[in-house]
Structure 1
Amino acid sequence: MQATGIIIAGGKSSRMGTNKALLKIGGKTVVEKIVSELKGTVSEIIIVTNSYEDYRFLGLPMVCDQWQDMGPLAGIHAGLNASSTEKNLVVACDMPFISAQLGGVLLDFLDENQAAVPIITGQLHPLFATYRKDALDEVTQSLQKQELRIRQFLNNIKTKFVTENDLQDLKFIFHEKHLFNMNHPEEFEKAKKIDADF
């Protein structure tokens, strides 16, 4: 599919105490696991980071936030701005068990929507979600107004909030690990256990 994978790797990882994306699980860094899985569903991959040196080893295009210190919305802006495709899959850099198949499901929803965002057990997951390039104008306006809450931005565009029922209807078997992310050292330990169990 002609689509861009946008890995948001701009966070400070302050709660983890070290760069989450470069932690190793099963012999691979988390960001390498993400890249490997994304290759199954997108045609190009961009890393959004303010630390180019950390990710040069991946050999992928990198862009930095144009809006500094303005959180994940600034990362989405940088990625969409750099993307050359209409469809885009945004992934946070601390999600070691993403599913390319789930990404494909979300990308398909972009035929009729500007964004498709999982909302599982009531929790929104805007950093494993898909966005059309034409959502960029609204992202820019949100940043200009310093309205940094992603949910507010999503309410301003045509967004499909994808529920467990939607995934069931599509015969997609959802696992909790698909949207698992790591913020604290104990979550990294849990991730290593999940990896060992599968």
Structure 2
Amino acid sequence: MKRLGTAVILCGGKSSRMGFDKSKLKLGNKLLLEIVAEKLEGLFEEVLLVAERKDKFVGLKYTVLEDLKKEYGPAGGIYTGLKHASSQYVFFLACDMPIVNIEYIESMMENLRHNDYDGVIPRRNNWVEPLHAFYSQSLIGDFEKGIMENNLVLYDIIRNSNILYIPEEVTKEYDPNMEMFCNLNYVDDLKILEKI
């Protein structure tokens, strides 16, 4: 498939449960987020990182965007990514989600080719996976409003938007155990890295 659009890796977060900065986690001599970014590079023309400081990842080949709205969590990171992306649709992934399923992301992308959605987000049980999702730049105003009103719950920000929610049964066709949604929140979660 031809490389299209922009992917953004969100590298903020306090990492308080892990006890160290997850965005600096290394596998061998590479940062985990570099490994993730390289996989996304096979699918996207542009891979950007959003961090609290522009100088956080000196020496990486990827553009690092400084969070435009600091202390606003993922909502601020998504807002920053959407503002800087060179494409209408932007794929967002949290830096602590190490399993990248390119085939699944391609299928999400395919839904955007023929429809005018504001985003594509996987559903999991009664929850959604908003940090493994596509958002349109048409949502910039919604994120700005949420930040101004200090309503940072992603689902609330996009509640009235035209979002395609992918059913869990469809996702499981690509990843039966839904491992691509695993987050590295605790030291025990690092076991998942054996699969990379």
8 A contact 2:121–2:133 mirrored in 1: yes
Change in Cα spacing, 1:14 to 1:173, as seen in structure 2 (3 Å) is closer
* Structure 1 stretch displaced more, 22-31 or 146-155: 22-31
Q: In the alignment, is residue 112 of structure 1 matched against residue 113 of structure 2? A: no
Which structure 2 residues correspond to residues 27-176 of structure 1 after superposition, within 5 A? 28-110=30-112, 111-167=115-171, 172-176=174-178
8 A contact 1:41–1:101 mirrored in 2: no
Report the 3-state secondary structure (helix = DSSP H, G, I; strand = E; otherwise coil) of the residue aligned with 2:55: helix
- Identity across the alignment (%): 24
Instruction: Please list every run of 5 or more consecutive structure 1 residues that lacks an aligned counterpart in the other structure.
Output: none
Q: CA deviation at 1:143?
A: 1.1
Q: Aligned AA for 2:123?
A: I
Report the 3-state secondary structure (helix = DSSP H, G, I; strand = E; otherwise coil) of the residue aligned with 2:123: strand
Q: CA deviation at 1:173?
A: 4.5
Q: Alpha carbon RMSD of aligned pairs, Å?
A: 1.9
Distance 2:126 2:29 in 1: 33
Structure 2 length-normalised TM: 0.89
Deviations, residues 119-154 of structure 1 (Å, cap 9, x unaligned): 123332100100111111111111111111001112
**Aligned equivalent of 1:20:** 22
Structure 1 length-normalised TM: 0.88
Distance 1:98 1:193 in 2: 14
Report the 3-state secondary structure (helix = DSSP H, G, I; strand = E; otherwise coil) of the residue aligned with 1:79: helix
Distance 1:126 1:72 in 2: 9
Q: Aligned AA for 1:144?
A: M
Distance 1:137 1:18 in 2: 33
Q: CA deviation at 1:174?
A: 4.5
Report the 3-state secondary structure (helix = DSSP H, G, I; strand = E; otherwise coil) of the residue aligned with 1:68: coil
Instruction: Please list every run of 5 or more consecutive structure 2 residues that lacks an aligned counterpart in the other structure.
Output: none
Report the 3-state secondary structure (helix = DSSP H, G, I; strand = E; otherwise coil) of the residue aligned with 1:112: coil
Deviations, residues 159-186 of structure 1 (Å, cap 9, x unaligned): 1111123346xx6454422111101111
Change in Cα spacing, 1:68 to 1:102, as seen in structure 2 (3 Å) is same
8 A contact 2:122–2:133 mirrored in 1: yes
Distance 1:20 1:89 in 2: 20
Report the 3-state secondary structure (helix = DSSP H, G, I; strand = E; otherwise coil) of the residue aligned with 1:58: coil
Distance 1:16 1:179 in 2: 17
Report the 3-state secondary structure (helix = DSSP H, G, I; strand = E; otherwise coil) of the residue aligned with 1:52: coil
* Structure 1 stretch displaced more, 114-123 or 145-154: 114-123
Distance 1:154 1:77 in 2: 12
Q: Report the structure, 1 or 2, having the larger helix content.
A: 1
Report the 3-state secondary structure (helix = DSSP H, G, I; strand = E; otherwise coil) of the residue aligned with 1:90: strand
Change in Cα spacing, 1:39 to 1:21, as seen in structure 2 (3 Å) is same
